[in-house]
Structure 1
Amino acid sequence: MRSRSNSGVKLDNYARIVHQTILKYQDPVTGLLPGSSDQPDAWVRDNVYSIVSVWALSLAYRKNADRDEDKAKAYELEQSVVKLMRGILQCIMRQLDKVEKFKYSRSTSDSLHAKYSTRTCATVVEDDQWGHLQVDATSLFLFFLAQMTASGLHIVYTQDEVDVVQNLMFYIEAAYKVADYGMWERGDKTNQGITEINASSIGMAKAALEALDELNLFGAKGGPGSVVHALADDIQHCQSILTSMLPRASISKEVDAGVLAIISYPAFAVEDMSIVNMTKEEIISKLQGRYGCCRFLRDGHKTPKEDPNRLYYESAELKLFENIECEWPLFWTYLILDGIFTNSHEQVQEYQEALEGILIKQKDGIRLVPELYSVPADKVEEEYMNPHSVERIAMGKCPLKWGQSLYVLGKLLSEGFLAPGEIDPLNRRFSTIPKPDVVVQVSILAETEEIKELLLKNGIDVETVADIHPIHVQPSRVLSHIYARLGRNSRLGLTGRPYRRIGVLGTSKFYIIRNTIFSFTPQFLDHQQFYLALDNKMIVEMLRTEIAYLSSRWRMTGRPTITFPISQTMLTEDHTKLDPAVLATLKKLQDGYYGGARIQMGKLSEFFTTSCFAHLSFLDVKGSGVHHDDGGDDEGSGDGYVHELRHDDDADDLAQYLDHLLAHAAPKKKKQHVRGLGRFKAAATKTKDMVSLMNKAQDLNVHNVNMYLPNKLFRTTQPSLNLNLPDSSASQETQPSEVAASTVSSIPRDASGAIDYGALVQLLKDTQSLQDQADILYILFKDKGMDWDTHLHGQGSTVRALLADLYEKAGEFKNWGLIRMISGMLKKKVEELDSACSDLLAHQKHLTIGLPPEPREKTITAPIPPDQLAALIDEASDNNISVAILTQEIMVYLAMSIRTQPSLFSEMFRLRIGLIIQVMATELAQSLNCSGEEATETLMSLSPSELKSLLHHILSGKEFGVQRSVREVDASPAISIHHLGNVGATKSERAGISKLKSDMKMMDRRVSLTDAVKLDQSFTSSCKSMRSQSVDLENIESGKYRLQSMESLDIPECIPSSRDTRHGQWLRRRRLDGALNRVPVGFYQKVWKILQKCHGLSIEGFVLPSSTTREMTPGEIKFSVHVETVLNRVPQPEYRQLLVEAILVLTMLADVEIQSIGSIIHVEKIVHLANDMFYKDQVDLGADEHMLERDPSTGVCRLLYDSAPSGRFGSMTYLTKAVAVYVQDFLPSGSCAVQ
């Protein structure tokens, strides 16, 4: 008999440890592991981590097998792993109804349970009696399911189980916007059952999605049907949110040791090594002690001060747990594994030695990892005085199976029984290795042959849709519908992926569907309901943003490919030239560099060898569930569509579904027949085909099939509204006179004095002015409702239909003011409104809509469904349709900015959209030297691209100027925004945003002052002449028919223009910073310190109590939001900012050797004290009353608002004096005086 090798003996020793500490507790029926002898339930997370060492040991035996019995041991260990993983799968499959509900609701009541019965796989507590929603636990199970399958284990047995795993991926794919209870099951640090977004959950979900994507769950024996798919856009959303959060773990936890699992083994979810190192250093410096690491600061779990009889804490008692938090050896096992994977032998040795010193040794020689070490009850005061000084005692589970498993894993790796690659077969450990530069491939498609020739004249050689056969191009919404079939299983009651938009990462691949190659256009070109895509400048701006996003986020094999169609709407009005913005973009793309990315332009067919391909095998014809209509007459069914699959033998129901899916486009424009991409909107003409399609769609389980069919089949044909508008292709020069040709000057009334609606409808038919038609339809909308039939051309001419027609025409003329107004009346919603809201919230930004104060200003702190969000916006806007539609637009632009430039939003935790709109109008009023009402009208008339540009400049903090200009083509007035130099202010002086009035000497190269005045006068006179000839709606007594402007915005009095470029500069800066909630870096941490030296800060009657510091730590986002909430009670942004400056001066006292600076400090009194000193000094210097005019709402001199912080008469000078005087009264006698 052959003797055992040394390695074999050691492996047998580890097998004994694993059996004694883990496997002997495994249930023989379910395969699950109980928490402990007194906690018989099976936690998902603990079970998965516990079995990892068994899996690792099986790999080690298989690798180092001396004898056949070693291979037998390896197999036995493997089957123990399979049994446990399948046990968890069985638990989940008993709750598939919850998986299905949660995909749509994301509610805590619909979540999978966190623990189950070890003996039966049944649930053990009710939905509302435990913090069940723990996305990281479900993600961890899926992650190791992928790793173990990749290592050769066969865990998933049937196609039904494949569909379950696919739906679990849908369950976790939105982790970046799901607030859960986290890996410690308690949610918010206060342990009061409040959910929050956790970095540990997002990171584990990202890792699981990446690990499972394109993995065959049947292993080497599987076919295309057992492959699961993840969407790259969801993965990258998780990545961006995770990056923006770390090293913070959540809103209430500024640091959490549990994050070690995502920055290192097992997840390796973070790609930026600097963030990994920064997070690790935060954890070690703030949480590490002599016995391990605390879970997070002020963690009361099992401390002597915790009351075990209460489930929740009181907020104020969190301070009691400071410095006595229990220390967990578990986290040293993570740091040992981290050292192994990063080849840091010193780190491995350091933590192995430290860990060995605190393990519990049994009589049989086995070393156990205890759950935690706690401060003895009689040593608490000593530990308070000298942290980490007293000897602690082991408490809780011994061993903690989770920690024991990772300890054994670390031993196997450090002693060479396993290589890191063997327990990481999917190569997660390489996530931080820098990726090569991405080359973005762009293929331009012409809608028609005419556009192709037009592009060729400009030196751009492209193809039309007909040229690219057999590749089929579709809009992105089709891909969303295709993915909705993924994971669908009627036997299990699973409906597949919820219909959601597919981002640019998803549309930048080629897809093989039933042996046919598809390419999809980006989602931003697919706006059917909203007006952003009507602006060509906005389209190219979104293209630039998407290309920049692709170049930084693309992680797949092959290059990304964007298919960009050039349509009729991208031409000038006379259809003879390309829109200048589009042409300029195409030229830049040709140059090979655009949006910060390398570009390769070419034809789609040229990109096959270098592109990324995805094979959507779940759409392949299966043996059951899909029925073919063999006897149907398919004549003409494919004619007129982009992909004419009727040429193929497999022209079946799916092909027709994909074709007819495109027929429900926006209201049809009355244009000549177009070919190519125009066929996207072609409507089927045969009722027979439609009925056949409906039957086939039902077989495909396509829901709401009516919405995909042309409306005319199901509705009475409505004659077009004859608005007698000039043809959009007519010369633009003649338009103003034609539009203003109406000579009617009053509203028609009947004998009783009431409005004669019949005559009003006739007036609607006769008038040629777009604005007048909108005004009349607004009256009908307010008085008669949307569905009132005007009978303008017989039955069916409802107000809604006429508004839709007018919307089309306003879109052709690019009349943005009208477009927004009609959009508001039609209750149009941005397609990705809820997505934009969720993106902002996921970046830990709260949103407010409406103008202050509360309750008019509504706060959004958690994602809400689109319809509820739209209703909330309407309510907060006081049902002002202009404000409501603008709020939606601004929300989308903020989301676009935070995705690409999150740094713009640093130190801003609440985005107040109402105030941002007010500030934008104020900027225009000041820069264009016009009234508030005119500025509001101008704001509403800006094109989407101009509005986004204005918002970006306001956010950016750079100097900029605004000038009025007139578009050559568009009906709306325009502005031009340009950067200015540091006129009159150094960079260090600019605390926030500042805009300087343009110095005419600097501007004379652009336009002379007299030219600008003439331009302004001609613009104003043309507007007045148009207004004088339009319908006079202002003579209606009640005024309720007046089209709503944004007068409710209460635009502050504009600063008069002056030759001095500094005049009004600081008032404007404070107004901007106050509206944007922008504060200096480190401001909130300083506020926390000053609160420890007083009883609280009072701001306009609202108190920020010192007890807040007992509940929250200085680095918590939760604390910052709390301070912000109190400051936001102040409605005037410039006054708010002066209060911030006063608090900043106060915080200087935090470092002074004073125990206390009084009871409650009234910050507004300090500001008024400073104001009085300033006023007195200015009077002494001879300033008159006009110069020293006070703001009636606050009593503060406007001149103080406009003072620079520094200097002899600077605001900080007076605030410092005021603080010294104010605090002096509260100092105890004998204390050192503050000079």
Structure 2
Amino acid sequence: MPINETIPKSESRELNLGSTSYSSYSQCLQGLDQFYGQAKRQILRYQSPTTGLFPAMSDDTVTASIRDSIYCAISIWSLYQAFIRRIDDSFGKACELGQSVVKCMRGILFSWMRHSNDKLEEFKANQSPKHALPSKVNLITSLQLENDPEIRHLQLDIVALYLLSLVQMIHSGLQIIYTMDEVHFVQNLVYYVERTYRTPDFGMWEQGSLLDSDTPEVHASSIGMAKSALESINGCNLFGEKGASWSVIHVDIDAHSRNRSTFETLLPRESFSKSTDAGLLLTISWPCFATHDPNLYGSTKTRIIDLLKTPYGQMELRENPLNCENIESSWPIFICFMIIDAIFKNDENQLNEYTTMLNEILKIDSNHNDYIIPKYYYVGFRTVPPENYDSERLNPNSSPRLANIECDTSSALHLMGQSVLLITQLLLGKYLEITELDPIRRYCCSYERNRKAGRFSVFQGKHYGTTAEIVVQVVLISESTQLKAMMATYGIQTQTPVEVEPVKIWSSSQLVKIYEYLGINKKLGLKGRPSRPIGSLGTSKLYRILGRTVLCYPLIFENSDFYLSNDMELLIDDIKNELNFVGKYWRMNGRPTVCIILREENLRDVKFKEMLDLLVQFKRGYLSSTGLKIKIGRLQNLISSASFEHLDFTAQFSEELEKLPELEPFKQAEHVENFGFELFENRNKVQHLNEPSDFNASHHENRSTWDIIEDLKNCHTMLGQSHFLGILMKREGLDYMLPNGTSIKQNIENILKNAGRLRYWKVLRYCTSLLKKLVDSISPSITSILVNHKQITIGTELKEIIINYPMTPSEIRNLIYSSNENVYDCVLQQEIIIYVGHLIATSRSFFDGIFKIRIGAGLIQAMKFYLTFTNESDDSNQTDLASLSPTRLRRILYKVLTDENLSPLYKRQIDGSLGRFPKNFSTKVREILQRTKVGISVGSYRLFSSSLITKMSSQDLNFIIEVENLILCIPSPEYRQILVELLMVVHVILKRNPELCFKTNQTVDLDKLVEKSLRHYRPDRDPHETILQFYLEDKKAISVFFARAVFDALLQQTQQECLVN
């Protein structure tokens, strides 16, 4: 065998993998022939003759595993690559290998195409596990298995790996896709994986959360696979080099960006509940190479090695070995992955280490002297008796292990393992180069890869590393000629929609309508791209559609149903964030081009001067806050350097698209009478509202519907009218017709429009909530919070709902409007979720110490406290959050999270509301529990040391949740913080006095310790009377009284023991 030419296998058991190589053509031919025989015996003999699929284990004649089939196909393709690159005439062997690969890949395609309508199309709309494409099918027929409902099919990394492998194989010259029906299906597979960043799945090991294995969660390994697949297949022609323009695959650049950012945020963790996973190695290295950031790669790989490495490979995952029912098995296949990684990284030390390990664990087939890699090594009765399992758990890898093939009932081959072993042998023997295993150069950074031929955009833009080196082109479009003239007086040159012709100005929603035709196939029941918004990066390209050039303006300039668009200051911040985001994450050839729409209503806003200041920055050529370079000019002058996307697929639907009324371009506003300098100069003369800031609707709720209608007629305030309409809506519904011939919904919308013009925020929020509107981009904001390892809750303390996995907008709407009785809170919580999502992505340190972000019961409560004691409101009438502008609300949230200059009482109220805890708080509470006999308690809530210490580590999510619940069960925020400070004092005392511990047979009652501290604080007063004064003291002052109370409790029990003795 070529793997060890110096020592015949019949004479030696040592597998000297590193010494294998060939020096002549005849040796190369002989070596490849031997690998061909090995592949035939160990892999190809188990390929289904009907479907082309492979089982996971060689003795399985019923079930085909899609994942294992892909790796089998990759290994045979690798051998095919080795043959065609080195042997002139392989006597048909290379052709046979290539056709076997094609049959397998097409077999997977056919097994999924059976479910194009009932699963794939449904999954695009609702990412539910029941709609997932199958991960296992019948080996002979590729139909569903009898136990199909029991299988956790939702494994997004499988589909992503298939797409990545498909691109690699097509690039090498194999013809796998034959028809346009198949092209359309693959395009829909792209839609299937585009939202991996917010889709919980079961991952590589078919396991959900550690808290509940049946509950899927977002996995970094799946997201990384999806990111790599999207990068690879974007701009790929599935018919190969000779394919037509309509067989090219398109990828949403914003979906790719969200997968990238979520993936990089999760690393080095695997998921919310898993600190790491061996499957991450496949993501950061071959076959995906999902990150080229040396810090992310290094930290993730180091964690995998430190936590999972054993002499027999790597464990699946290892969160808390003491809590495992059984001792974790080791998987030798990851030794092969580490060898492949070392070859790609040219790391000789790693290569030598892992080839030595592989030498020691491989087995030999006695019939053909082929190498066999066991599926796993485990601790069995023959190596460790059951009574000694505890010692193995306490000292992992101290006991010898058995290979699964050494068990009489498990002698079958693990085909995925044999496949990766074959690839490893080919690389070690120099029969395969890394450029042949990865022809699209995934192992290189994007700017080092070969450019794809053609005019379609691909992710190849050079990553310069700093936003200041990216130039963002900005086109200013005025709504009317009058507005253009007005802006010119201030030195701001703009263009009207007529002046940029023949380029058309579209909204992003119009582009969504065009993309709905991409991948549509009536025969397969596929409806094309789902109606997903086009993000900031997508609207920064120019498009060629049906012979016309189109520039789209971003989502922030569309007339949104939600009231946030009425806040000029918020719009200015959004424009800055939009430009900075595009500059930071642009990965395409050509410069990004952002279209900014200026409307006449903006000119009338009292904050328009701030908009002018921003436009002046554009004119100077950079953003002062970040240094981002801006190039402003006429669109005709910027086109030559812009990034273009050619949507040639639209030619097939030209007649249908031309008739769509939704594709009307942005039109120039008609002349407005009396529009001129006077309006601009008097923009500060805004109508002032002369009506009460509150309205008590409870006095009217018991009146009859007709009486309410009469009250509505006689009411002359918008706030009162909106409340009367709210009462009528609850009774009669939105479609109820009033005597004036209009419905309740129409009246609410009219008030909403007028309130928006007057910036009457309280009425805006109330009417928006009545209509149950949802703010744009709330789902990505929630996902951003979750991937930063936080939980999020909505609702009030009486009805608080935890969100610990990404949700669809409709699910979020239902939760928000069902968990809040207060009408204003329904929309205030949406605002805050958007703000928190942005802050946690840009300033994660603001949320240090907060594990559970409680939107309603925490943040809103803290903001109300802050508003009360800091006079944040400019208007004395604006005493509640609902009356403030969105910009002011955002500033209060910022100050709540960052203001350290507060009195002790206010600081405790804020931190108690937020649920902010000191660093390593859960670890310190666990150490306290270790020094108690029973546990600790607050009120009726108890933490028992025996159950928590033995079953959970300090970083276990269940333990963190238990500790939080102990504190958050207290309704008073300031008292919560008092308990936190008490526990910190207890920890310091126990740490400095290792001989002391709580030996009482009851839980350590923290309430009693606080009461004792109060008696020390004011010996002559009742504790209930002094608690308020106690809150006003700083931490150092009250820690003295805490310490006295704790020492009293510790020493008192010691004295009692002495008396007993």
Aligned to 2:904: 1066
Superposed counterparts of 1:326-475, under 5 Å: 326-363=329-366, 364-377=368-381, 378-379=383-384, 380-381=388-389, 382-384=391-393, 386-395=395-404, 399-431=413-445, 435-436=463-464, 437-475=469-507
- 1:206/1:269 contact within 8 Å kept: yes
Q: Distance in 1 between matches of 2:346 and 2:206?
A: 33
Aligned to 2:978: 1138
Within the alignment, does 1:605 sit opposite 2:636 as a pair?
yes
Q: Distance in 2 between matches of 1:800 and 1:1168?
A: 56
Q: Distance in 1 between matches of 2:517 and 2:787?
A: 28
TM-score, normalised with respect to structure 1: 0.75
TM-score, normalised with respect to structure 2: 0.87
Aligned to 2:645: 614
- Against the structure 1 CA distance between its residues 334 and 471, is the aligned structure 2 distance closer, same or farther, given a 3 Å change threshold? same
- 1:513/1:616 contact within 8 Å kept: yes
Q: 1:528 aligns with which of 557, 560, 572?
A: 560
- 2:772/2:817 contact within 8 Å kept: no
Within the alignment, does 1:585 sit opposite 2:614 as a pair?
yes
Question: Per the alignment, in what secondary structure is the counterpart of residue 425 of structure 1?
Answer: coil
Report deviation, 1:47: 1.3
- Tell which deviates more after alignment, 1069-1078 or 204-213: 1069-1078
Within the alignment, does 1:919 sit opposite 2:884 as a pair?
no
Report deviation, 1:770: 4.0
Q: 1:252 aligns with which of 273, 276, 296?
A: 273
Report deviation, 1:731: 7.6
Superposed counterparts of 1:299-310, under 5 Å: none
- 2:1014/2:1030 contact within 8 Å kept: yes
Superposed counterparts of 1:197-216, under 5 Å: 197-216=218-237
For the aligned residue pairs, the C-alpha RMSD in angstroms reads: 3.5
Aligned to 2:99: 79
Aligned to 1:973: none
- Tell which deviates more after alignment, 1091-1100 or 894-903: 1091-1100
- 1:265/1:334 contact within 8 Å kept: yes
Within the alignment, does 1:1210 sit opposite 2:1033 as a pair?
no
- 2:278/2:316 contact within 8 Å kept: yes
Q: Distance in 1 between matches of 2:886 and 2:939?
A: 38
- 1:1085/1:1114 contact within 8 Å kept: yes
Aligned to 1:28: 49
- 2:865/2:910 contact within 8 Å kept: no
Q: Between the two proteins, what is the percent identity of the paired residues?
A: 32
Question: Per the alignment, in what secondary structure is the counterpart of residue 27 of structure 1?
Answer: coil
Deviations 1:733-775 (A, max 9, x none): 58448x5699x999999xx9997567545534xx4x5445445
Amino acid aligned to 2:72: S
Deviations 1:129-157 (A, max 9, x none): 12121111122112211221122211111
Report deviation, 1:563: 0.7
- Against the structure 1 CA distance between its residues 253 and 758, is the aligned structure 2 distance closer, same or farther, given a 3 Å change threshold? closer
- 1:254/1:1116 contact within 8 Å kept: no
Aligned to 1:1129: 969
Aligned to 1:11: 32
- Against the structure 1 CA distance between its residues 144 and 734, is the aligned structure 2 distance closer, same or farther, given a 3 Å change threshold? closer
Aligned to 2:183: 162
Question: Per the alignment, in what secondary structure is the counterpart of residue 200 of structure 2?
Answer: coil
Q: Distance in 2 between matches of 1:870 and 1:1138?
A: 36
Q: Distance in 2 between matches of 1:272 and 1:1161?
A: 52
- Against the structure 1 CA distance between its residues 243 and 883, is the aligned structure 2 distance closer, same or farther, given a 3 Å change threshold? same
Aligned to 2:244: 223
Report deviation, 1:556: 1.9
- 2:58/2:415 contact within 8 Å kept: no
- Against the structure 1 CA distance between its residues 823 and 245, is the aligned structure 2 distance closer, same or farther, given a 3 Å change threshold? same
Report deviation, 1:660: 5.2
Aligned to 2:754: 809
- 1:254/1:1115 contact within 8 Å kept: no
Report deviation, 1:522: 0.8
Aligned to 1:1099: 938
Q: Distance in 2 between matches of 1:753 and 1:73?
A: 88
Report deviation, 1:111: 1.3
Q: Distance in 1 between matches of 2:395 and 2:77?
A: 43
Report deviation, 1:619: 1.4
Deviations 1:221-261 (A, max 9, x none): 21111111111111221222222222221233212111101
- Against the structure 1 CA distance between its residues 776 and 1173, is the aligned structure 2 distance closer, same or farther, given a 3 Å change threshold? closer
Q: Distance in 2 between matches of 1:515 and 1:930?
A: 54
Amino acid aligned to 1:1101: S
- 1:272/1:432 contact within 8 Å kept: no
Deviations 1:822-854 (A, max 9, x none): 22233332233344334433444322222214x
Q: Distance in 2 between matches of 1:846 and 1:237?
A: 19
Report deviation, 1:541: 0.7
Amino acid aligned to 1:388: N
Question: Per the alignment, in what secondary structure is the counterpart of residue 166 of structure 2?
Answer: helix
- Against the structure 1 CA distance between its residues 82 and 1115, is the aligned structure 2 distance closer, same or farther, given a 3 Å change threshold? farther
Q: 1:491 aligns with which of 505, 523, 529?
A: 523
Amino acid aligned to 1:598: K
Aligned to 2:6: none
- 2:209/2:216 contact within 8 Å kept: yes
Q: 2:781 aligns with which of 824, 836, 846?
A: 836
Report deviation, 1:537: 0.8
- 1:200/1:262 contact within 8 Å kept: yes
- Against the structure 1 CA distance between its residues 952 and 486, is the aligned structure 2 distance closer, same or farther, given a 3 Å change threshold? farther
Q: Distance in 2 between matches of 1:188 and 1:383?
A: 25
- Against the structure 1 CA distance between its residues 416 and 928, is the aligned structure 2 distance closer, same or farther, given a 3 Å change threshold? same
- 2:697/2:724 contact within 8 Å kept: no
Mark the runs of 5 or more structure 1 residues left unpaired by the alignment.
Answer: 301-316, 629-651, 666-670, 676-726, 960-993, 997-1064, 1191-1195
- Against the structure 1 CA distance between its residues 266 and 1217, is the aligned structure 2 distance closer, same or farther, given a 3 Å change threshold? farther
Report deviation, 1:320: 4.0
Q: Distance in 2 between matches of 1:240 and 1:820?
A: 32
Report deviation, 1:79: 1.2
Q: Distance in 1 between matches of 2:944 and 2:339?
A: 43
- 2:275/2:319 contact within 8 Å kept: no
Q: Distance in 1 between matches of 2:686 and 2:426?
A: 83
Q: Distance in 1 between matches of 2:131 and 2:342?
A: 39
Report deviation, 1:947: 1.1
Report deviation, 1:780: 5.1
Amino acid aligned to 2:402: I
- Against the structure 1 CA distance between its residues 1229 and 162, is the aligned structure 2 distance closer, same or farther, given a 3 Å change threshold? farther
- Tell which deviates more after alignment, 487-496 or 379-388: 379-388
Report deviation, 1:870: 2.6
Deviations 1:842-876 (A, max 9, x none): 444322222214xx222233344434433432332
Amino acid aligned to 1:220: E
Superposed counterparts of 1:892-1041, under 5 Å: 892-914=834-856, 915-928=858-871, 937-955=879-897, 957=898, 959=899, 994-996=900-902
Report deviation, 1:609: 2.8
Report deviation, 1:216: 0.9
Q: 1:1082 aligns with which of 920, 934, 940?
A: 920
Amino acid aligned to 1:848: T
Question: Per the alignment, in what secondary structure is the counterpart of residue 652 of structure 2?
Answer: coil
Report deviation, 1:217: 0.9
Report deviation, 1:1097: 3.7
Q: Distance in 2 between matches of 1:1099 and 1:375?
A: 43
Amino acid aligned to 2:565: A
Question: Per the alignment, in what secondary structure is the counterpart of residue 445 of structure 1?
Answer: strand
- 2:604/2:680 contact within 8 Å kept: no
Aligned to 1:822: 767
- 1:447/1:568 contact within 8 Å kept: yes
Superposed counterparts of 1:1141-1180, under 5 Å: 1141-1148=981-988, 1149=990, 1157-1158=998-999, 1162=1003, 1165-1178=1005-1018
Report deviation, 1:920: 0.9
